[in-house]
Structures are given as structure tokens and as C-alpha cells.
Amino acid sequence: MENLVGLDRKKAEKLVVDLNGLLADYEIFYQNLRGLHWNITGKEFFELHEKFEELYKDAFEKIDEIAERVLTLEGEPLHTYTDYLKATDIAEEKSVTDGIQGVEVVVKNFRTLIKKERNILALAADANDEGTVSLMSDYISETEKTLWMLNSYLR
């Protein structure tokens, strides 16, 4: 049986579950980035304050795109922090002020995100869901480049 966009309903339902997990991860990642942006101190303050803002603005856009993809697949996007905390694989970070530690948190969070994005990419390919494949491919490319840059910063 197919859904409204012509995908196998069971495969689309599995994608909705995984996309909601990714949505929850991005919501917690977003809030972690906001905290880093607000609380970072030290010699790297100016560059990291700006970088964390850039990253949280990007995460904010992805949150909306993921939620809209869930809706396109006839699911309901998670939309409460209670649900996000149950579904996320990203830990909340609190009171991080050190720049290097902050970048390490971001790298750890991105590693979680990219692992989940690759899994969703494979599921979407199996479901012939080109919309989700395209979205995840774009996210993976961006995340890989960002991880390379952040890891270079940490060296």
C-alpha cells in the first residue's frame, strides 16, 4: 500500500520514526550550540561565538526541513522537549565555557548526527524516497566538511 507521495507506507513509517529521532537530535544540538554561543569565554571567544551562531542558525533550518519531511511522509513531527529527550542520542551540555571543550562537544554531536543521517540515507534509498535521499545527501556533505574543519581546529 502506498502513501500520498507514492512510497510504500510501511517503509515511509520507518523513515518517519528515524527522521523524528534525527529531529530530536537536531533540537538538542541546537540548544547545545545556543549555550556554547552564550557561555564561551577566553581567547577564542570572538571566533567561536560567531561560529556557534552560524552553526545554530544552520541547525534551526534543518529542524524545519526535517519536520516538513516527516509531514510529507504523512507522519507527525515531534514537537516537545519531553519527546525530544526521549528520542535523542545527543546529550544535553551545560555550563561549557572553554572553547576547545565547546568544539569537542560540537564534533561529538556532529558524529552522532552523521551516523544517523547515513542510516536514514540507506533506508530512504531502499524505499525509493528520493526526497529524503536528497536531503540526507546534502546534510552528510555539509557535516563531513564541517567535521573536517572543526577537527583541524582542534589539532
Q: Residue 127: how many CB atoms within 10 A of its CB?
A: 18
C-alpha cell at 96: 561549557
114-121 contacts, C-beta under 8 A, 24 or more apart: 114/139, 114/140, 114/143, 114/144, 114/147, 116/18, 116/21, 116/22, 116/25, 116/89, 117/22, 117/143, 119/18, 120/15, 120/18, 120/19, 120/22
Fold that domain 9-154 belongs to in CATH: Ferritin (1.20.1260)
CA distances from 12 to 49, 70, 80 (A): 39, 9, 22
Given this model, what pLDDT does residue 146 score?
Answer: 98
- Break the chain into its structural domains and give their ranges: 9-154
CA distances from 112 to 17, 84, 89, 105, 115 (A): 16, 15, 7, 11, 5
* pTM: predicted TM-score of the whole model, two decimal places: 0.96
Please name the residue ranges forming H helices in 9-129. 9-39, 45-72, 81-87, 99-126
Given this model, what pLDDT does residue 60 score?
Answer: 98
Given this model, what pLDDT does residue 72 score?
Answer: 98
- Say which amino acid occupies 95: S
Q: State in Å, rounded, how far the first CA of the chain is from the last one.
A: 52
pLDDT in tens, the chain (155 residues): 999 899 999 999 999 999 999 999 999 999 999 999 999 999 999 999 999 999 999 999 999 999 999 999 999 999 999 999 999 999 999 999 999 999 999 999 999 999 999 999 999 999 999 999 999 999 999 999 999 999 999 99
